[in-house]
Amino acid sequence: MKIICVNKNYPEHTHIAETGVSEYPIFYFKPDTCLLRNNQPFFYPNFSNDIRYELEVVIKICRLGRNIAERFAHRYYNEIGLGINLSAQDLQQQCKQKGLPWEVSEAFDGSAPISKFVNKDSLDNSNGIDFWVEHNGKVTQKGNTDEMSYSFNQLIAYISRYTTLKIGDLIYTGTPVDAKPVAIGDRLKGYMNGEPMLDFFIR
């Protein structure tokens, strides 16, 4: 399986406000070794001094597909969860300044904590999901999937033009606000439509 991360998918995000909405979805990959399951703690790596987090709604692919038409895209996922996308911002800036690829700042072990999943049919409106994260008890990121520039179906259709989607693939659909820094000892709790989904510590 693969992790597909969508970038700049909410108009309130600072980068969108500065540059405008992209003409097409922007995405990149993380390996499956990034996944952190069952609320296991994230251990702060020794190669970075600036780890930041973004809360995202995640959809799980349930059918093999390529070049999927948007009108059929809803058939290719049936579960929805939450994920935290962790990045090493200091490494990313160093890479960007040198004109280098910046996967090293995103693809490290444990950088994709993932929640349990729920069937999309159990949600009142799978296209209008409220989600937020509490950082040490304070809400720091909040959004609704209605605000996305590109919907779940649009993302599936676009991504499948370039890479075959396989059963179990995860699409992290973007964050509504800028990444926030974390420190050792911090606690992150994620909620979807008011239900607790994620709860883990930074060690």
Residue 140: give its domain's CATH number.
Answer: 3.90.850.10
Alpha carbon 100 to chain centroid, angstroms: 23
Per-residue pLDDT of the chain (203 residues; tens, 9 = 90+): 999 999 989 986 555 455 566 788 999 999 999 999 999 999 999 999 999 999 999 999 999 999 999 999 999 999 999 999 999 999 999 999 999 999 999 999 999 999 999 999 888 765 689 999 999 999 999 999 999 999 999 999 999 999 999 999 999 999 998 899 999 999 999 999 999 999 999 99
Q: What is the DSSP letter of 45?
A: P
d(CA 8, CA 16): 6
Verdict on whether the full-model pTM lies above 0.95:
no
- In 17-73, DSSP assigns E strands to 26-30, 35-36, 51-61
Taking a C-beta distance cutoff of 8 angstroms, is the pair 120, 80 a contact? yes
- Domain of residue 78: give its range: 3-201
The residue type of 22 is S
Tell me the residue type at 87.
S
**What's the structural domain count of the chain?**
1
Residues 2, 81: Cα–Cα separation, whole Å: 16
By DSSP bridging, strand 170-172 and strand 3-7 are parallel
* Alpha-carbon radius of gyration of the chain: 16
**Would you put residue 133 in left (φ > 0), alpha (ψ -120 to 50) or beta?**
beta
For 101, phi and psi rounded to 5 degrees?
Answer: -60, 150
Hunting for tokens 């251990």 — which residue is that? 43
Distance CA 166, CA 191 (A): 27
